[in-house]
A = this chain, B = another copy of it.
């Protein structure tokens, strides 16, 4: 069994990868250093070296890291060598935006199924995928062995859908519903609530009543 890596380290790996891909796209060099990467990301070079060294020795003293090689190593570590099928539940505005998001394609994911409970949405084609009735959710996810779900359903529906997803074998859920979800501990839940993010930043703002 691999020694266990802290979540916070795992959380940084995709950030490293994204910046490495940018470096590769810029195409100015084939090599980078922990210092250069750290400067671009606002992270200390020591932290980057330490994080990476948990998985292997990817660099060379004196020259640093070969960009494409490191990208590929990270891809393997993060299990992104094959495309992951993703199920999207909720075909409203946000679901629509995500179904059409081009950023998934080349970064390891594809929305292969979309569900909704509203007859207005059911049957629509979204980015080549037909919106299905949520009644078929369980059966379909199970049959396709889909492990990753994105939730863009109303708050009231989120827990109920989560239960179905978990039952059907999903173990990774990215949710946009502003509610804490309950699920077994082997299920990974990642939250995205724009209001929470704005509220965090509001703390650092001068109150409007005090503004000049």
Stoichiometry, as copies per complex, reads: 2
Q: Check if A205 sits within 8 Å of B147, measured CB to CB.
A: yes
Task: State whether A103 and B172 are in contact (beta carbons under 8 Å apart), knowing that A97-B96, A108-B202, A200-B10 are contacts in the complex.
Answer: no
Q: Does A164 contact B (CB under 8 A)?
A: no
Q: Check if B172 sits within 8 Å of A201, measured CB to CB.
A: yes
List chain B residues, Cβ under 8 A from A81. Answer: 207, 209
Q: Check if B171 sits within 8 Å of A15, measured CB to CB.
A: no
List chain B residues, Cβ under 8 A from A178. Answer: 18, 103
Q: How many A residues touch B, CB cutoff 8 Å?
A: 64
Residue in contact with A194 in the complex, picked from B171, B174, B211, CB distance below 8 Å: B174
Task: State whether A78 and B202 are in contact (beta carbons under 8 Å apart), knowing that A18-B196, A97-B94, A195-B109 are contacts in the complex.
Answer: yes
Could you tell me which residues of chain A, from 2 to 28, have a CB within 8 Å of some CB in chain B? 10-11, 13-15, 17-19, 22
Could you tell me which residues of chain A, from 166 to 212, have a CB within 8 Å of some CB in chain B? 171-172, 174, 178-180, 188, 190, 192-209, 211
Q: Check if B41 sits within 8 Å of A180, measured CB to CB.
A: yes
Q: Does A57 contact B (CB under 8 A)?
A: no
Q: Check if B22 sits within 8 Å of A179, measured CB to CB.
A: yes
Q: State in angstroms the CA–CA spacing of A19 and B203 once bound together.
A: 18
Q: How far is the CB of A11 from chain B (nearest CB, A)?
A: 5
Task: State whether A10 and B104 are in contact (beta carbons under 8 Å apart), knowing that A93-B97, A178-B18 are contacts in the complex.
Answer: no
Q: Check if A200 sits within 8 Å of B11, measured CB to CB.
A: yes
Q: Does A79 contact B (CB under 8 A)?
A: yes
Q: Check if A103 sits within 8 Å of B194, measured CB to CB.
A: yes
Interface residues of A (CB under 8 A from B): 10-11, 13-15, 17-19, 22, 40-42, 77-82, 84, 86, 92-94, 96-98, 100-101, 103-104, 107-109, 145, 147-148, 150, 171-172, 174, 178-180, 188, 190, 192-209, 211
* Shortest Cβ-Cβ A-B pairs, 3 listed: A93-B97, A14-B199, A172-B201
* A–B complex contacts, Cβ < 8 Å, 7 sampled: A18-B193, A93-B101, A98-B194, A171-B205, A172-B204, A174-B201, A192-B194
